[in-house]
Amino acid sequence: MTVPVERVLEQIIGTMQFVQRPTARATYGSVSWCLWLLGLHPNPFVSQQQTPESRVVVRRYGGRMYDRFAVSVQAEPRDRKSWIDLARRLESAGYDALLAPDHLGSGASPFVALAAAAAVTDRIGVGSCVSQAGIRNPLMLASDVATLDVVSDGRARLGLGAGHTPIEWAMLGECRPGVDDRVARFIEVAHACRRLLDGQTVTVDSEYLRLVNASLTQPRRCQQHVPLTVGTSNIAMLEWAARNADVVSMTGFGRTLADGHSHVVRWSDGHIDQQVNVIDYHAETSRNVVTKDALVQFVEVTADAEAAANRLGETHGVNPGDLLTSPYAWLGTVDEIVDGILRNRARWGISRYTIREQHLDAVDAIRIRWESLPSVAAAGGRRKSVDGC
């Protein structure tokens, strides 16, 4: 039997996602170029852009595009009243989810806070954004998520990342591993969490994780499937997420800086094109349906977007031109920002966004304008449904 060469190469790439060493990643690059030369792989350095004419078609007939637009809010509690008020505000305004960061030692416990928010809401999703796989035990993490799913009547989400803040390891008496090791640990933790939440018994004995006949007999999640969001800009993690996750949250973060919190940013169109091509290729070859989300860092409604971009660029070390075109920053008038969201959807397929709480007032105005678009108004707004217990 003759096996087509493209099928062999696809199998090689599928295997490479589990090997996170520099040699393997170099091999992946070579294989990718072979596929590209055969016309079977998008060139990772050339954007698969739509033409202006195709964008017009998307906007004219893009009811689905409008309907899929969703905004979640990342926040953490300062006191009981403001936290409860925030949850109720998001629920009544039609936001998609309330998400909480997960940084041990420097922030609130996300699952305790989200359980409190779930108790005063009925519709919005609740989840971490994102839990740190480098130091989180997957059995304990899966138990927290399953419990949150029970008390929220099936609205929990699992958000995972590889982690980057050195002090979070240092407080546990450990050193932060290198990038390859963090990615390998992330993949094993993510697989284990998914299997545990699906009711499986998990045994793992590897360099990065050890579990022995681990299982969740109680509590059992309400949803048939707890959605997994992966937050990353790492290429190897984007590959894995495209094949296995429900949502890929693109962060635009590069190398962590010396303070342990800030990052080199990768906000240029070229960087985003490369990441989106990786996501699209691996989602398509694995037949996984994955949604793209972007973590919005700046929102400023202004009549002078260029001035805002110049000011923010100087303060934060970002190219002002990238700020004006990036999905990670919303700058301009409300109409200009909405047009930018439409362009992001047409070019990169980004249909979800996560914003910070401090930008909520500005985003309220943007969402009101979005809801007035003809396709949204004709559809009567978005629909949200979850499986109950």
Specify the pLDDT at position 14: 44
Q: Which of 108, 154, 148, 158 is nearest to 128 (CA)?
A: 158
User: Strands 210-214, 202-205: parallel, antiparallel or unpaired by DSSP?
Assistant: antiparallel
Q: Which of 382, 146, 76, 127 is nearest to 231 (CA)?
A: 127
Rounded to the nearest integer, the mean pLDDT of the chain is 83
Query: What mean pLDDT is predicted for residues 10-20?
Result: 43
Specify the pLDDT at position 259: 63
Specify the pLDDT at position 253: 78
Residue 60 tokens read as 């004219």
* 34 phi and psi angles, rounded to 5 deg: -60, -45
Specify the pLDDT at position 55: 31
Alpha helices in the chain (DSSP H): 5-16, 22-37, 52-61, 63-68, 80-93, 110-118, 138-151, 166-170, 179-197, 235-244, 269-286, 305-316, 320-325, 334-348, 360-371, 374-379
Specify the pLDDT at position 189: 97
| pLDDT surpassing 70 at residue 245 | yes
Q: Which range has the top average pLDDT, 30-44, 312-326, 375-389?
A: 312-326
For tokens 């963090």, name the residue: 182
Please name the amino acid found at residue 163: G
Specify the pLDDT at position 221: 82
Handedness of CA 235, 241, 246, 249 (dihedral sign): negative
Specify the pLDDT at position 69: 73
Specify the pLDDT at position 34: 54
Specify the pLDDT at position 93: 95
Alpha carbon distance 186, 179 (integer Å): 10
Q: Which of 89, 92, 113, 93 is nearest to 101 (CA)?
A: 113
Specify the pLDDT at position 314: 93
Instruction: Find the range with the poorest average confidence among 80-89, 105-114, 143-152.
Output: 105-114
pLDDT per position as a tens digit, 21-79: 333 434 444 555 455 455 555 444 443 333 332 332 233 223 333 345 799 999 999 99
pTM over 0.85: no
Per-residue pLDDT band at 374 (split at 50, 70, 90): confident
Per-residue pLDDT band at 387 (split at 50, 70, 90): very low
* 284 phi and psi angles, rounded to 5 deg: -70, -45
Specify the pLDDT at position 372: 87
pLDDT per position as a tens digit, 173-195: 999 999 999 999 999 999 999 99
Instruction: Find the range with the poorest average confidence among 108-117, 311-320, 327-336, 376-385.
Output: 376-385
Between 33 and 315, whose confidence is greater?
A: 315
Query: What mean pLDDT is predicted for residues 281-294?
Result: 97
Alpha carbon distance 108, 208 (integer Å): 26
Specify the pLDDT at position 180: 95
CB 327 within 8 A of CB 350: yes
pLDDT per position as a tens digit, 202-231: 999 999 999 999 999 988 888 989 999 999
